[in-house]
Amino acid sequence: MIGLGLIGGSLLRAASAGGRTTWGATESAVDAETAVADGYEVGTDVAGALRKAAERDAIVVLAVPLTGLDEVLRLVAEQAPSCLLTDVTSVKAPVLASVRRLAPGARFVGGHPMAGGTSSGWAAGNPALFTGAAWVACVEPDTDLAAWAEVSTLAIELGAHVVPVAAAVHDEAVARISHLPHLLAAVLAATGAYGGPLAASLAAGSFTDGTRVAGSRPELVRAMTEGNREALLPVLDEALGRLGAARGSLASTGGLAATLNAGHEGARRIADLRGAARAAVQVSLAAPDARDGLCALGERGGRIVGIDGSTALGEVA
């Protein structure tokens, strides 16, 4: 485990609790000391931790911010060039491009556990963080499916279910359901605060809910939104178009029915999709079209809940 913040620290704890042999490294001497005091094998020597991973044929998990990723990938190429490599970064196409450029020999499977919180650092970690969470494990045309199965098995062991999709498809979806919400929360919080103490004293549920994630550390939100620039721009334009249409309609006819009905219908549709009954399906990882099958399942909202030899056990609505 390279990096021991909220996600890396939770992952190390959960994998250890599940009986795996784990070790980690972090640039933060404070986090390393605290993790050692908590009984984990952790240090500040990233190269050494990677060398050991190469010797033991371990899964290397990169849990560092996107901005620090290239530096660690150079160490991976030096110390563990053909390791089984995954990451937990919240954007996937830029990470895939970096790995192809800097550590092309690694058996790489991009990962993204959809779990987090507004706290950060080793101390905020929680081994139950991934229980019930979606965990994207990327499938590209050249993905090594044995490596994909190993990463997926780890995610499932930690209580998550696996969503298999291509990196670019992931990035478009999280722009909609994670990065846009963070930007709208920031806009709402700034606009609300501009109303001064009266606005603060009248703020109730709709404002509190709509601004909760504006309390997240801005540098973490910047890393994920700025890192997903290519996918986020068209989604941001779509939201601007919808909000601009609402503005135009309110100014001209005075009506907001189209905006509010579309929002209500969208909320209902997403709730229906999330609550839909799911049927069990199997995907043979040995089949020639296995990668297409996995991606199709992920794009339909399906999930992998088990790996049995060379068969992925899925659920789809």
Tell me whether residue 105 or residue 215 sits nearer to a second copy (CB atom): 215
Listing from the earlier edge strand, what are the strands of the sheet with 107-109?
Answer: 59-62, 84-87, 107-109
Query: 102 with 73: CB under 8 angstroms?
Result: yes
Residue from the set 259, 284, 310, 311 that interacts with a second copy by CB under 8 A: 259
Residue from the set 48, 207, 306, 311 that interacts with a second copy by CB under 8 A: 207
Draw the binding track, 1-40, toward a second copy (x: CB under 8 A; -: no contact).
----------------------------------------
Draw the binding track, 78-117, toward a second copy (x: CB under 8 A; -: no contact).
------------------------------------xxx-
Check binding of 279 to a second copy (CB under 8 A).
no
Check binding of 233 to a second copy (CB under 8 A).
yes
Compute CA distances 284 → 148, 233, 253, 311, whole Å: 13, 37, 56, 5
Number of residues this chain uses to bind a second copy (CB under 8 A) = 100
**Strand duo 42-43 + 134-137: pairing:** unpaired
Query: 161 with 144: CB under 8 angstroms?
Result: no
Residues in 141-180 at the binding interface with a second copy, rule: CB under 8 A: 163, 165, 169-170, 172-174, 176-178, 180
Check binding of 252 to a second copy (CB under 8 A).
no
Residue from the set 251, 286, 288, 309 that interacts with a second copy by CB under 8 A: 251
Which tokens hold the place of 199?
């606005």
Rounded to a whole number of angstroms, the minimum distance from the CB of residue 198 to a second copy is 5
Q: In this structure, what are the phi and psi dihedrals at residue 192, rounded to the nearest 5 degrees?
A: -65, -45
Which tokens hold the place of 49?
């931790």
Residue from the set 55, 261, 282, 287 that interacts with a second copy by CB under 8 A: 261
Check binding of 244 to a second copy (CB under 8 A).
yes
Check binding of 314 to a second copy (CB under 8 A).
no
**Strand duo 42-43 + 111-113: pairing:** unpaired
Tell me whether residue 97 or residue 146 sits nearer to a second copy (CB atom): 97
Residues in 111-130 at the binding interface with a second copy, rule: CB under 8 A: 114-116
Rounded to a whole number of angstroms, the minimum distance from the CB of residue 2 to a second copy is 24
Residue from the set 88, 109, 155, 185 that interacts with a second copy by CB under 8 A: 185
